[in-house]
Amino acid sequence: MTDRAELARLDDLLRPLERTTWRFYALVAGLAVVVLLGAVAWVSQMVIGFGTTGIAPPIMWAFYITNFVFWIGISHAGTLISAILRLVNAGWRKPVTRCAEVITVFALMIGAMFPLIHLGRPWLFFWLVPYPNRRLIWPNFRSPLVWDFFAIGTYLAGSVLFLLLPMIPDLATIRDRTTGVRRRIYGALALGWRGTAEQWARLETAMQIMAVAIIPVAVSVHTIVSFDFAMAPVPTWHSTIFGPYFVAGAIFSGIAALIVVMAALRRSLRLEAYLQPLHFDHLGRLLLLMSLLWAYFVFAERLTTWYGNDSAEIAVLMQTQRGGFAPLFWTMIVCNLVVPVALLAPRRLRTIRGCVIASCSVCIGMWLERFLIIVPALGHKYLPYRWGTYRPRAVEITITVATFAAMTLLYTLFAKLVPVISLWEWHGGERLARSPQPTAMPEKQLTDMRQ
């Protein structure tokens, strides 16, 4: 590998950091306006009262909790790609890892906002933190919402660190290419990274450990989110399948979001040489697999409910099969199963465009899926006198749209400050020792060589 090729690659990947056009400012300004509208909507909800939303008994959770589950689900993109593929040594994951990890961090941050937004008294959210006090305030560790707090907190801390650790060598590279204030900031963040052989070995071991640790955390997070529903005696919520069902759905929507983000980055940052059709093909196949897995869960769940013939559960089931929610249900099936299988199964159609269309369809379908789990069930609980309907109001729609803008805004700002493709994970397998010496070589490298 020559110096020139390396420098050209660094130039390509660091160009967004080193050159800014008016388009960037226009995009940031536009997104910031939408996010600001969302903030205004939330403040108005707090000042005027929660009644400005469409929430009404018996449907006490709707758009906000749908968004919560949706964004936490999206956050499973990073973990799957980074951690699982890292552990199975799939080389094609390397340019994709940081894109995915960034999605995880920002999706978690946004998702974690919604438990605050949906509170009746959000200024008291800190009572979920177990801090010593004399006011007889203490979190209830039996409550799934407290489990949410601990799980999402752990996952967020883990994901941020999982993102930051492999960023350190890249921050050192940027430090060496900038001057002035930026150099000092990047230098401070790079923590004096030099790139000694020992540092690389320690970093790689640390990433292995993090990958092994973050996967069970990710699985537990969405399982615990599903427990928000499964632990309540609401017809069709109280199901043992919810844990695996939600995790599969999360990975499904996460891959879809990743494909969309990657395509957007590829186009806007001119990364065609780095995010190749091969990557989209592999992710597209994973998306197809998850689509079939999702369909399997939905089928098993619904067939079991139908056979069970419990009157309350049948009432809820019929809402989505024949009642008022049927159009949304069938849209969801088309979006989550028909479109992905049609576009991703035939190899000729599994192009970048095909993958992106399928992914957008899946994002819509998975949002609908969360909505259809929550609202029809709450609207048809055990006492028919208290059955009800739900219609979102402006404040909920505004905040929902604003979170999509917030995600895009955060990602845009990140791509301006840090390269979205890892600079150092590109390489692989360069050796400094002439031949394998069994006594002198660490086992990890022996295994790498065998694969």
Partner 1 sequence: MTALYALFDNAQAARRAIELVRAAGVPHREILVLSNRPLEGFDEGRSRATRQWLVATGGGLVGLAFGTALTTLTQTAWPLSTGNMPIVTWWANLIIMFEMTMLGAILATCGALLVFARLGRSRKVYDPAVSAGQILVGVERPRPEQVGELQRALRAAGAAVRTLE
Partner 2 sequence: MPHRWGMVVDLDRCTGCEACVTACHAENNIPTVGDRQAARGRAMHWIRVERYFEGVFPDVRVKFRPVLCQQCDAAPCEPVCPTYASHHTEEGLNAQVYNRCIGTRYCANACPYSVRFFNFFNPAWETPLHLQLNPDVSVREGGVMEKCTFCVQRITAAEIQAKAERRELKDGAIAPACVQSCPAKAMVFGDLNDPESEASRLARSPRGSKLLGDLGTQPKVTYLERQSPV
424 binds, among partner 1, partner 2, none (CB under 5 to 8 A by kind): partner 1
Distance CA 94, CA 420 (A): 11
Q: How far is the CB of 389 from partner 2 (least distance, A)?
A: 9
Q: Is the dihedral of CA 157, 163, 166, 172 positive or negative?
A: negative
| Gyration radius of the chain over CA positions | 24
Q: What is the DSSP letter of 180?
A: H
Among residues 80, 106, 92, which one has the least CA distance to residue 211? 80
326 binds, among partner 2, partner 1, none (CB under 5 to 8 A by kind): none
Binding site for partner 1 (CB under 8 A): 1-3, 6-7, 10, 130, 136, 138, 140-142, 146-147, 150-151, 153-154, 157-158, 161, 165, 168-169, 172-173, 175-177, 191-206, 209-210, 213-214, 216-217, 220, 224, 423-424, 426-427, 429-434, 440-445, 448
Element (H, E) at 399: helix 394-417
202 binds, among partner 2, partner 1, none (CB under 5 to 8 A by kind): partner 1
209 binds, among partner 2, partner 1, none (CB under 5 to 8 A by kind): partner 1
CB 142 within 8 A of CB 150: no
The neighbour count for residue 11, using CB atoms within 10 Å, is 11
151 binds, among partner 1, partner 2, none (CB under 5 to 8 A by kind): partner 1
List the one residue from 24, 37, 50, 219 that touches partner 2 (CB under 8 A).
50
Q: Which residues pair with 337 in a beta bridge?
A: none
Nearer to partner 1, 116 or 206 (CB): 206
25 binds, among partner 1, partner 2, none (CB under 5 to 8 A by kind): none
CB 203 within 8 A of CB 165: yes
Nearer to partner 2, 145 or 161 (CB): 145
What would the two tokens of residue 352 be? 């970048």
List the one residue from 115, 249, 284, 419 that touches partner 2 (CB under 8 A).
115
Which class for 251: exposed (0-12), middle (13-18), buried (19 or more C-beta within 10 A)? buried
List the one residue from 4, 19, 121, 194 that touches partner 2 (CB under 8 A).
121
124 binds, among partner 1, partner 2, none (CB under 5 to 8 A by kind): partner 2
List the one residue from 184, 270, 347, 386 that touches partner 2 (CB under 8 A).
386
Tell me, residue by residue from 191 to 230, as one string, x for binding to partner 2 by CB under 8 A and - for no binding.
-------------------------------------x--
What would the two tokens of residue 112 be? 């974690």
56 binds partner 2 (CB under 8 A): yes
List the one residue from 61, 162, 242, 367 that touches partner 2 (CB under 8 A).
61
Distance CA 104, CA 155 (A): 9
Following DSSP, what letter does each residue of 416-429 receive, concatenated? HHS-SS-SSTT---
List the one residue from 14, 152, 378, 415 that touches partner 2 (CB under 8 A).
378
Chain residues 409-448 in contact with partner 2, contact rule CB under 8 A: none
- Name residue, tokens 């402006």: 394
Among residues 370, 399, 406, which one has the least CA distance to residue 50? 399
- Let me know the angle formed at the C-alpha of 66 by 60 and 72, rounded to the nearest 5 degrees: 130
Distance CA 112, CA 44 (A): 20
370 binds partner 2 (CB under 8 A): no
Interface residues toward partner 2, by CB under 8 A: 48-51, 55-58, 60-61, 115, 118-122, 124-125, 127-128, 136-140, 142-146, 149, 228, 231-234, 378, 381-386, 388
